């Protein structure tokens, strides 16, 4: 019987295949399951005090090693990392941003989420510009 692949396990596998050895971030409610997968993988998780700090650390890591990544939570976490991500983008530093978000069931159940700013899609629309 084939084992079902989740998005999280697929992402971890692809990060490993890309040669990523370390990932930076701040655990939060919508990425806790992904953090569990990271802890079980060979990728070292480096926690930072803020999402912005994670972004700048991952940018520096990318400039040295060729690829950096951060794992942050939805909305406020993503917005906190925005300056670092924009800086990496401007300097063409290869940075992967993994940001959890509420699932379809959570969105349907409660349109007012505790981390939501404006509409559910706001973070995506802002990052789309970067």
CATH of the domain at 116: 3.40.50.970
Intervals of the chain under pLDDT 70 = 1, 106-124, 126-127, 129-130
The answer to whether the CB of 19 falls within 8 A of the CB of 46 is no
pLDDT of residue 89: 94
pLDDT of residue 30: 84
pLDDT of residue 34: 95
Provide the residue range defining the domain that includes 124.
Answer: 7-128
Contacting residues for 19 by C-beta, under 8 A, at least 6 apart: 65, 66, 67
pLDDT of residue 2: 76
Q: How many domains does the chain have?
A: 1
Residue 1 maps to a domain = no
pLDDT of residue 130: 64
Residue 25 maps to a domain = yes
């Amino acid at each position: 019987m084939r084992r079902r692949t989740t998005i999280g396990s697929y992402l971890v596998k692809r990060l490993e295949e890309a040669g990523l050895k370390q990932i930076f971030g701040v655990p939060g409610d919508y990425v806790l399951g992904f953090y569990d997968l990271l802890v079980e993988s060979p990728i070292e998780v480096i926690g930072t005090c803020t999402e912005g700090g994670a972004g700048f650390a991952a940018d520096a890591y990318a400039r040295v090693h060729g690829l950096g990544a951060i794992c942050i939570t939805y909305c406020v976490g993503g917005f906190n990392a925005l300056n670092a991500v924009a800086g990496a983008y401007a300097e063409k530093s290869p940075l992967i941003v993994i940001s959890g978000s509420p699932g379809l069931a959570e969105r349907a159940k409660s349109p007012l989420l505790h981390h939501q700013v404006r509409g559910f899609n706001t973070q995506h629309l802002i990052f789309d510009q970067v």
